Amino acid sequence: MSLTNEAITAMADFIHQHEKFLIITHDRPDGDALGSLFALSRSLNQHGKKATPILTADLPERYQFLQTDEPFVMIRNDSDWSALPAADALIIVDTGSREQLQSYLPLLERFTGPKAIIDHHAYCNLKSDIQLIDTHAPAAGLVLAQLLDHMNWLNDAATASFIFVAIATDTGWFSYSNTTADCFSWAAKLMNLGANDRAIYENLFLSDSPARFRLIGRALCSAELHSNDQLVAMTLSLNDFSQCNATSAHTENVIDQASRLKTMLVSILFVEQPGNVVRISMRSRAPFDVHAFASKFGGGGHARASGMRVEGSLKEVREKILKELESAVEKTDRRI
């Protein structure tokens, strides 16, 4: 579904009709979530409204550069919810899923005013009074850009930068298959408004901490090629994490390194966790469906990107899953 003029106008009217807004996004927020959150709150505050974005955890290392002068409220304990400023509307960006809003459930239960969703995901099980959802949009930021543009509210460099970050991260810097011509049109428009693409690129992609940099090195050194170089298996042990002084958060997108290999059909990263559990990330190229594979082990996600958690030691989980994966790769008819 693409956005209709009626849907955009209805959401614009909703915003005009209210004065004080709370804005939230999904747990473990990414660039689209945070970019959309800050772009919306800044725009509202600039246009005579009072907006309060709410976060429930510190910004991840990668997105700390977004922590600008935008005011926001940090809720760390359930009791903090009562201290929120009064609001007459709640807007949720980049999700409509209750499962992705676990840390916000006390607010969702307590808040009795109207709720609005601005999103691009097909899955939506959160009750709301109005939605602006475009499931074809590669980022919630692109949906928000159309709304703000319609309201003539898209006219400053900081807001443009937040939206640029939203679109750039959800499209993997305009490289994933969800990248459309619209993404480039909007990128140009946002750059003309003052979004600094070089600074944003450096912050997002050239700013790894030494811990993450070392961890990527370990992951690449661990890479083994199986099944005629179509299967890449990488492994990170608890020892790797302590040697690199790294944490679980540093593994974001490490699996994507395997996609450099032209012959890769499927890649898998085994990450040893405390407590005899292995966290597994997978990526694939068509026609290999990693969602179908991960589903067999209680995991899932998307056809090209999935994950799962499997109980057992790193050695036994790795052996068992690799054997299954090798046989799945052999059965796959790769038409290239």
Residue whose CB is less far from Mn ion, 166 or 290: 166
Which range of residues in 30-38, 129-137, 288-296, 325-333 is near Mn ion by CB under 5 A? 30-38
DSSP state of 86: P
| # binding residues, Mn ion (CB under 5 A) | 4
Is residue 94 a contact point for Mn ion (CB under 5 A)?
yes
CA distance 286 to 303: 8
- Please identify which residue in 32, 134, 240, 272 interacts with Mn ion, judged by CB under 5 A: 32
Q: For residues 139 and 255, which CB has a smaller minimum distance to Mn ion in the complex?
A: 139
Q: Which region among 38-46, 133-141, 199-207, 224-232 touches Mn ion (by CB under 5 A)?
A: 133-141
Check the CA dihedral 213-218-219-223 and report its sign: positive
DSSP, residue by residue, 253-270 = TGGGGGGGSTT-SEEEEE
Sequence-distant contacts of 256-262: CB under 8 A, at least 24 apart: 256/172, 256/283, 257/216, 257/219, 257/220, 258/223, 258/232, 258/234, 258/283, 259/283, 259/285, 261/225, 261/229, 261/232
Instruction: Give the integer Cα–Cα distance in Å for 232 and 251.
Output: 16
- Beta-bridge partner residues of 222: none
Segment lying near Mn ion (by CB under 5 A), choices 78-86, 167-175, 184-192, 322-330:
167-175
Round to whole Å and give the CA distance between 33 and 25: 6
> Smallest distance, Å, CB 33 to Mn ion?
6
Member of 7, 40, 92, 170 binding Mn ion (CB under 5 A): 170
Residue span binding Mn ion (CB under 5 A) among the ranges 53-61, 123-131, 138-146, 296-304: 138-146
Within 251-310, which residues bind Mn ion (CB under 5 A)? none
Residue closer to Mn ion by CB (options 94, 272) is 94
Which residues contact Mn ion (rule: CB under 5 A)?
32, 94, 140, 170
